[in-house]
Structure 1
Amino acid sequence: MTTTDQALPHYPFSTRGDRLADELRGTCPVTRVTTNAGHEAWLVTGYPEARRVLREERFRRSRVADEGSPVQDVPVFAPELLDAMAYLGRAGLLEEARRLLSDLPDLPEEELRAEARRGLEEMVAQGAPGDLQHHFAERVAGPAMCRVMGLPIGDLPRLRHWADTDLTMLLPTEEVHRNWEQLRDHLLERAQRCDPGVPGLVPRLTAMNTGSDALTPHQLANVLGVVFVAGYEDLASFLGGAAFHLARMPGALAQIRTDPGAVEGHVEELLRYSVLMGNALARICTDGTELGGRRLRTGDLVLVSTDAANYDPATFPAPDAYDPSRRPNPHMRFGHGPHYCPGARLTRRVGALALTELARLEGLRLAVPPQDVEWHPDRMAIMPAAVPVLW
């Protein structure tokens, strides 16, 4: 399915995280768009329609990797990159991966708090204005993911570069694939040399990857790469966006500071309120159906904007209002259905601990008007280039 109508709107509409793009608002829950790759797709912005796509088997994520299927950006490097959890399941590794990502036995609470404190203390020591993206969001996300993965902290500069490059849209296919090969080969080497007694996903899953259903070393390295990239970018994006919003809301920071138990409501509302997805969750329709009043055909590419779904006024009254007391708050930041993000607990836990530490810095506020904050262009995970602040 290639584009034949140049008048179709081009998606994504924006990679700024300060507000939902105007084109994502409105009453049309399913609309036709053109992707970065020049293919036609159905963009889903309505909340019930998004839940249906992410829940029903007729909309398959794994089929995006099929030869000839329409794509968002560049062709997928390897099929396990799109269906990492399914590959872990077939190899008997999924439950252990979920345990390590959900119970977080290798990520002590005090270490997370200390990392956030150290970053903020360094920022204050260097003097105003500070940068919360660098000294807070990335400072917390990087070490947290290295600890979860069981990777040396010294690897972080290279891992961060590979992750940032992988999630940059509009790069040549060859550059994207070459970048991923470097990340995969690095993780392959780490897996081959790791000490099974060291905590973390890399040594644990490598030790367990045995038997007739075992993944090949390259497959396992690819899956581990997906976990690191998704975990690091989601955390750095969320914490950066949350810091941007809270620096504009002194009342919210004061509430967290005086009542730390309130932080969970703020985390949930920030997960809904923040615009964090530069592209969309892609699925292939494997059985023609009707969705949102539109007729979808077998083989159609379907793109779900969870950002737009989180602003659907039928589900979230006054969606533009920031309301940490919002109950219920069934946002779709982590997806829905069988592919619900296994790192949801990680983001929630890290977010709550880090934002509690951030709120201790009294007088925190943006150093520039909100519209002057710069955002990384063309990113799949929307992230501020910097969050300049005063205190």
Structure 2
Amino acid sequence: MSSQPAVIDLLDLSPDFVRDPYPVYARLRRRGPVHHVRTPDGRDMWLVVGHDSCRTAFTDPRLSRDWRGSGDLRQIINTGQDQPGLAHMLMSDPPDHTRLRRLVAREFTTRRIEALAPRIQQVTDELLDAMAAHEDRRADLVDAFAFPLPMTVMCELLGVPELDRDAFGAWSNEMVARTSPEAEAAAYEEMPRYLVALIEAKRAAPGDDLLSGLIHAVDEGGDRLSPDELIGMSLLLLIAGHETTVHMIGNGMRALFAHPDQLADLRADLGLLDGAIEEMLRYDGPVETCTERLALEDVEMGGVVIPAGSAVLIALADADRDPSRFREPDRFDIRRDARGHIAFGHGLHHCLGAPLARMEGRIALRSLLGRFPGLTGDTGATTLDWLPGMLIRGVRKLPVRW
């Protein structure tokens, strides 16, 4: 028989939730797969935990991403329904999602991604050269390396001029971990406005970049992206392609610093790197919960009814720490078979850029560990500044020394 649970304040369960949410998720998972929660920023959401339940929720058509057509965007984002920056595949359901993903996949190909490897290596080497020039042998790994690497790669992939990258970084940060509703609203106004001008410039003088390709991409039936869809897809690719890689690198290095035996093993045998990256993604991935789903109707899961119109979060972070799927899930082990993790999502919204993120991670970590064999965390008495919200998991700064 279904029941309606009381709202659980996540900060009441643990004031330390933002820094370490895993014990809270595990406690909730032991009670059941679905919970009505209050998030650290004060919003009421329905939270799905557990590996099997999360995979099921990802594929349930009653849990929609079509907020623009079926819901009220202001439940989740401080912007209006007509926001062109949200006209992308992550904010749509089939058949619209199928159509948009097909058009983007025509240009965002394996061949295009693989061709980026030499440039990713070049950018990596240049950033590490700049780090090595620090006379005090200290740096903020996020600012010096993890942030500029994927930002440079995504901007060059799309053909965004170099002078605009600082602005993109600021907009991106507000969209994934807002500092205030007002700053979030401003980012959603300013970034699409910039993209309109960029798209017009690319239309007039196309290059060999991905954005030029998307502007002119036409499928067999003559379909192409609309003006709003070009804005939305550009915004999605820039933000999703940047934020996840920043914090995949940052979280992965934090895990290695916290487990010096594992770091020593990886330094001694970089053949373990591919498996280590998958374990980093499983153990402390960059995406804590999915972008909010909308319950199109009453949805019963595990004896609990999620009411129609509710916002639903799927806890990827908990799915990948579920002992029913991963033995000793709270143990970080770079030799573990971490296949089956859902750090990049699951189902039709599985991250299109996952192969690029993995390639960036391989190049970045191999080069970083090779260049600085004595690299270690340098937090000392410094308290790490965690990103707010429950979407992207990571820290704003990661002090290191070598």
Residue 139 of structure 1 corresponds to 148
Residue 80 of structure 1 corresponds to 87
Letter in 2 for 1:22: P
Q: 1:149 and 2:158 equivalent?
A: yes
The structure-2 alpha-carbon separation of the partners of 1:370 and 1:324, relative to structure 1 and needing over 3 Å to count, comes to farther
From 365, 389, 392, the counterpart of 1:381: 392
Letter in 1 for 2:26: R
2:292 partner SS: strand
2:250 partner SS: helix
How far apart, in 2, do the equivalents of 1:214 and 1:95 lie?
A: 7
Does the 8 Å contact 1:101/1:148 carry over to 2? no
Residue 185 of structure 1 corresponds to 193
Letter in 1 for 2:53: E
1:359 partner SS: helix
How far apart, in 1, do the equivalents of 2:132 and 2:291 lie?
A: 38
The structure-2 alpha-carbon separation of the partners of 1:23 and 1:16, relative to structure 1 and needing over 3 Å to count, comes to closer
Deviations 1:26-78 (A, max 9, x none): 21321111357866432011111100010121221114763447834535653
Deviations 1:267-291 (A, max 9, x none): 1000011153355432223343431
Residue 276 of structure 1 corresponds to 286
How far apart, in 1, do the equivalents of 2:119 and 2:18 lie?
A: 29
How far apart, in 2, do the equivalents of 1:112 and 1:156 lie?
A: 17
Does the 8 Å contact 1:42/1:300 carry over to 2? yes
Does the 8 Å contact 2:379/2:400 carry over to 1? yes
Q: Which moved more, 1:348-357 or 1:328-337?
A: 328-337
Does the 8 Å contact 1:184/1:221 carry over to 2? yes
From 31, 36, 39, the counterpart of 2:35: 31
Letter in 2 for 1:23: V
How far apart, in 1, do the equivalents of 2:125 and 2:66 lie?
A: 41
Give the alignment's Cα RMSD to 1 decimal. Answer: 3.2
Letter in 1 for 2:20: R
How far apart, in 1, do the equivalents of 2:245 and 2:80 lie?
A: 23
Cα distance, 1:243 vs structure 2: 2.1
Cα distance, 1:85 vs structure 2: 8.6
| TM-score, scaled to structure 2 | 0.84
From 325, 337, 342, the counterpart of 1:315: 325
Residue 304 of structure 1 corresponds to 314
Does the 8 Å contact 1:145/1:231 carry over to 2? yes
1:321 partner SS: coil
How far apart, in 2, do the equivalents of 1:101 and 1:178 lie?
A: 33
Cα distance, 1:249 vs structure 2: 3.5
Does the 8 Å contact 2:288/2:392 carry over to 1? yes
How far apart, in 1, do the equivalents of 2:18 and 2:271 lie?
A: 27
Does the 8 Å contact 1:306/1:333 carry over to 2? yes
Does the 8 Å contact 1:69/1:299 carry over to 2? no
From 119, 122, 141, the counterpart of 1:114: 122
2:160 partner SS: coil
Deviations 1:196-253 (A, max 9, x none): 6523221100122699744432331122111111111111121121122223334434
Percent identity of the aligned residues? 24
Deviations 1:115-134 (A, max 9, x none): 22222221121132221111
Cα distance, 1:89 vs structure 2: 4.5
Q: Which moved more, 1:354-363 or 1:99-108?
A: 99-108
Residue 363 of structure 1 corresponds to 374
Q: Which moved more, 1:300-309 or 1:62-71?
A: 62-71
How far apart, in 2, do the equivalents of 1:373 and 1:162 lie?
A: 22
Does the 8 Å contact 1:17/1:274 carry over to 2? no
Residue 325 of structure 1 corresponds to 335
Deviations 1:116-171 (A, max 9, x none): 22222211211322211112201211111112222223321111111112222362
How far apart, in 1, do the equivalents of 2:376 and 2:314 lie?
A: 34
How far apart, in 1, do the equivalents of 2:165 and 2:73 lie?
A: 34
From 229, 240, 250, the counterpart of 2:239: 229
Residue 251 of structure 2 corresponds to 241
From 51, 54, 62, the counterpart of 1:50: 54
Does the 8 Å contact 1:145/1:232 carry over to 2? yes
Q: Which runs of 5+ in 2 are unaligned?
A: none
1:100 partner SS: coil
Letter in 1 for 2:363: L
The structure-2 alpha-carbon separation of the partners of 1:178 and 1:328, relative to structure 1 and needing over 3 Å to count, comes to closer
How far apart, in 1, do the equivalents of 2:189 and 2:71 lie?
A: 20
Letter in 1 for 2:164: D
Q: Which moved more, 1:364-373 or 1:379-388?
A: 364-373
